[in-house]
């Protein structure tokens, strides 16, 4: 058995998990903000970013927010979600998907994952909603699907269910900008444009970044107007310092939006790069004993935001993490399922959470920056193979 070699440069260069890649137009647009003194939450780049983002994803309206979490919070507000309301949300997601449910004093109902996408198990949601319908029990006030790690959730059946019962569907597309549906009734549609509201993030590690920021998308003009109203302190036009409801300071700044406009110009090439990296990872890791490559549902075009694999056990996963860390390679475990953390400990978990627990304990994301070179990628792969073949060597 020949062991993979780690190139000697491996001890010097750190490989980040997912770093921003800013291009030349970023500095030009930022300079324009500085020159014109439009640095805050009013300015031409905010409107332009909203317009161009809406066009890029295929939504009618886009409302820029100070973060993805803010966008999700505003989504809860415009749907009038409050105390006593239930919102269905997957248990296996980043915590920001669900915190806004608690901000609103509403009740999250957590949904276990399915093997085929690691996203929420739509069958569990269907069984619950249809059973409630038969019993005449109260319906959830909204269902929030999350497209994790760049992979679309199975929305076709979920959308039909929501339409049948008049339940608004929110999509947390924070990790999956540019992913789309490849088959069925949603073919050609991008994530974040299927439900009543879509939410995106431009945090530093996301596909495109504004430093920090988010976007809410919708085809419903009334919801878009109310969202914009809420992000700007619910200030009432024409009346100085009059606010007709409780609003937020959630508007994106012009500086951040200038970065967003620049980043959008790279969206297509970023998506191509992520796809190429993911295909290359899968080609090389597919036959490595102990590794399960990420699922690829035939009806989806993922964005391949992060490339994440499963190991056989939690111990093996931790061992690979350790080894990568020793080589200066930044890899990360996946999230702790919500039902295992204090704020959600009392929440109901449809399906029990066993699938989510399994993915969470065995999962690991590998470096996926658009700046990752093939040489660096080979270093990552070699380090993973080495950890699995020589678990105890140092
Ligand atoms: C990043 C992320 C968010 C939150 O976005 P921020 O811009 O960091 O507030 C929400 N949901 C998911 C699934 C995310 O990955």
At residue 1 the predicted structure's pLDDT band, cuts being 50, 70 and 90, is very low
Mean per-residue pLDDT over the chain, rounded = 95
How large is the average pLDDT for residues 249-274?
Answer: 97
Which atom in ligand 1 lies closest to the alpha carbon of residue 96? Answer: 10
Measured in angstroms, how far is the CA atom of residue 341 from the centroid of ligand 1?
17
Please determine, for residue 49, whether its predicted confidence score (pLDDT) is greater than 80.
Answer: yes
Please determine, for residue 312, whether its predicted confidence score (pLDDT) is greater than 60.
Answer: yes
Give the residue, out of 93, 174, 263, with the most ligand 1 atoms within 8 A of its beta carbon, to mutate for a pocket test.
Answer: 174
Please determine, for residue 8, whether its predicted confidence score (pLDDT) is greater than 90.
Answer: no
Residue ID of nearest Cα to ligand 1 atom 5: 68
Which atom in ligand 1 lies closest to the alpha carbon of residue 97? Answer: 11
Please determine, for residue 11, whether its predicted confidence score (pLDDT) is greater than 60.
Answer: no
How large is the average pLDDT for residues 367-376?
Answer: 96
- Please tell me the predicted confidence (pLDDT) of residue 392: 66
Measured in angstroms, how far is the CA atom of residue 381 from the centroid of ligand 1?
28
How large is the average pLDDT for residues 149-155?
Answer: 97
At residue 46 the predicted structure's pLDDT band, cuts being 50, 70 and 90, is very high
Which atom in ligand 1 lies closest to the alpha carbon of residue 214? Answer: 7
- Please tell me the predicted confidence (pLDDT) of residue 288: 94
Instruction: Return the HEC string of the chain.
Output: CCCCCCCHHHHCCCECCCCCCCCHHHHHHHHHHHHHCCCCCCCHHHHHHHHHHHHHHCCCEEEEECCHHHHHHHHHHHCCCCCCCEEEEECCCCHHHCHHHHHCCCEEEEECECCCCCCECHHHHHHHHHHHHHHCCCCCCEEEEECHHHCCCCHHHHHHHHHHHCCCEEEECCCCCCCEECCHHHCCCECCCCCCEEEEECCCCCCCCCCCCEEEEECCHHHHHHHHHHHECCECCCCCCCECCCCCECCCCHHHHHHHHHHHCCHHHHHHHHHHHHHHHHHHHCCCCCCECCCCCCCEECCCCCEEEECCCHHHHHHHHHHHHHCCECCEECCCCHHHCHHHCCCEEECCCHHHHHHHHHEEEECCCCCCCHHHHHHHHHHHHHHHHCCCCC
- Please tell me the predicted confidence (pLDDT) of residue 390: 78
How large is the average pLDDT for residues 253-277?
Answer: 97
Which atom in ligand 1 lies closest to the alpha carbon of residue 69? Answer: 9
How large is the average pLDDT for residues 245-272?
Answer: 97
- Please tell me the predicted confidence (pLDDT) of residue 393: 53
Measured in angstroms, how far is the CA atom of residue 120 from the centroid of ligand 1?
17
Give the residue, out of 68, 102, 199, 306, with the most ligand 1 atoms within 8 A of its beta carbon, to mutate for a pocket test.
Answer: 68
Give the residue, out of 113, 172, 308, 334, with the most ligand 1 atoms within 8 A of its beta carbon, to mutate for a pocket test.
Answer: 172
Which atom in ligand 1 lies closest to the alpha carbon of residue 202? Answer: 7
Measured in angstroms, how far is the CA atom of residue 97 from the centroid of ligand 1?
7
Measured in angstroms, how far is the CA atom of residue 202 from the centroid of ligand 1?
8
How large is the average pLDDT for residues 58-86?
Answer: 98
- Please tell me the predicted confidence (pLDDT) of residue 13: 79
Q: With the C-alpha atoms ordered 76, 77, 78, 82, is the resulting torsion angle positive or negative? A: positive
At residue 42 the predicted structure's pLDDT band, cuts being 50, 70 and 90, is confident
Which atom in ligand 1 lies closest to the alpha carbon of residue 146? Answer: 13
pLDDT digits (tens, 9 = 90+) for 289-305: 999 999 999 999 999 99
Look at 10-19, 94-103, 166-175 and tell me which has the smallest mean pLDDT.
Answer: 10-19
- Please tell me the predicted confidence (pLDDT) of residue 197: 98
* Count of residues making up the chain: 394
- Please tell me the predicted confidence (pLDDT) of residue 9: 45
Q: Percentage of residues in the chain with pLDDT exceeding 90?
A: 93
Which atom in ligand 1 lies closest to the alpha carbon of residue 72? Answer: 10
- Please tell me the predicted confidence (pLDDT) of residue 72: 98
Q: Percentage of residues in the chain with pLDDT exceeding 70?
A: 96
Which atom in ligand 1 lies closest to the alpha carbon of residue 148? Answer: 13
Please determine, for residue 284, whether its predicted confidence score (pLDDT) is greater than 70.
Answer: yes
Give the residue, out of 66, 73, 95, 97, with the most ligand 1 atoms within 8 A of its beta carbon, to mutate for a pocket test.
Answer: 97
Measured in angstroms, how far is the CA atom of residue 201 from the centroid of ligand 1?
5
Measured in angstroms, how far is the CA atom of residue 244 from the centroid of ligand 1?
29
Please determine, for residue 12, whether its predicted confidence score (pLDDT) is greater than 70.
Answer: no
Distance CA 344, CA 145 (A): 17
Ligand 1 pocket, residues with Cβ under 6 angstroms: 67-69, 93-94, 96-97, 146, 172, 174-175, 201, 203, 214
Measured in angstroms, how far is the CA atom of residue 175 from the centroid of ligand 1?
7
- Please tell me the predicted confidence (pLDDT) of residue 10: 45
Give the residue, out of 91, 201, 253, with the most ligand 1 atoms within 8 A of its beta carbon, to mutate for a pocket test.
Answer: 201
Residue ID of nearest Cα to ligand 1 atom 2: 174
- Please tell me the predicted confidence (pLDDT) of residue 41: 79
Give the residue, out of 102, 119, 153, 175, with the most ligand 1 atoms within 8 A of its beta carbon, to mutate for a pocket test.
Answer: 175
Look at 29-43, 57-71, 134-148, 192-206 and tell me which has the smallest mean pLDDT.
Answer: 29-43
């Amino acid at each position: 058995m020949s062991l993979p070699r780690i190139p000697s440069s491996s001890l010097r260069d750190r490989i980040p998990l997912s770093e921003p890649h800013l291009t030349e137009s970023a500095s030009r647009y930022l300079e324009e903000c500085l020159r014109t003194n439009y640095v805050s939450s009013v300015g031409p780049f905010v409107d332009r970013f909203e317009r161009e983002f809406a066009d890029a994803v295929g939504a009618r309206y886009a409302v820029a927010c100070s973060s993805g979490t803010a966008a999700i919070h505003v989504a809860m507000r415009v749907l009038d979600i409050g105390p006593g309301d239930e919102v269905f949300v997957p248990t296996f997601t980043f915590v920001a998907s669900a915190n806004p449910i608690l901000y609103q004093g509403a009740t999250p109902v957590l949904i276990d994952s399915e093997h085929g996408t690691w996203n929420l198990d739509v069958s569990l949601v269907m069984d619950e909603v249809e059973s409630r319908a038969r019993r005449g029990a109260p319906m959830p006030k909204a269902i929030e699907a999350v497209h994790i790690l760049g992979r679309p959730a199975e929305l076709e059946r979920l959308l039909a269910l929501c339409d049948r019962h008049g339940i608004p569907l929110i999509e947390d597309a924070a990790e999956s900008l540019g992913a789309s549906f490849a088959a069925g009734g949603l073919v050609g549609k991008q994530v974040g444009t299927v439900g009543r509201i879509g939410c995106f993030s431009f945090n530093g590690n996301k596909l495109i970044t504004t430093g920090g920021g988010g976007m809410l998308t919708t085809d419903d003009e009334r919801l878009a107007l109310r969202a914009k109203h809420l992000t700007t302190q619910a200030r009432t036009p024409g009346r100085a310092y009059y606010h007709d409801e409780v609003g937020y300071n959630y508007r994106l700044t012009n500086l951040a939006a200038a970065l967003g406009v620049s980043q959008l110009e790279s969206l297509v090439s970023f998506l191509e790069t992520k796809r190429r990296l993911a295909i290359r990872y899968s080609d090389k890791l597919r036959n490595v004993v102990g590794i399960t490559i990420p699922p690829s549902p035939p009806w989806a075009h993922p964005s391949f935001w992060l490339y994440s694999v499963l190991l056989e056990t939690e111990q093996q996963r931790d061992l690979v993490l350790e080894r990568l860390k020793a080589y200066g390679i930044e890899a990360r475990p996946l999230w702790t399922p919500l039902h295992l953390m204090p704020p959600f400990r009392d929440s109901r978990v449809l399906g029990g959470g066993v699938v989510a627990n399994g993915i969470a304990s065995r999962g690991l994301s590998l470096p996926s920056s658009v700046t990752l070179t093939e040489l660096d990628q080979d270093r990552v792969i070699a380090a993973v193979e080495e950890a699995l073949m020589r678990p105890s060597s140092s």
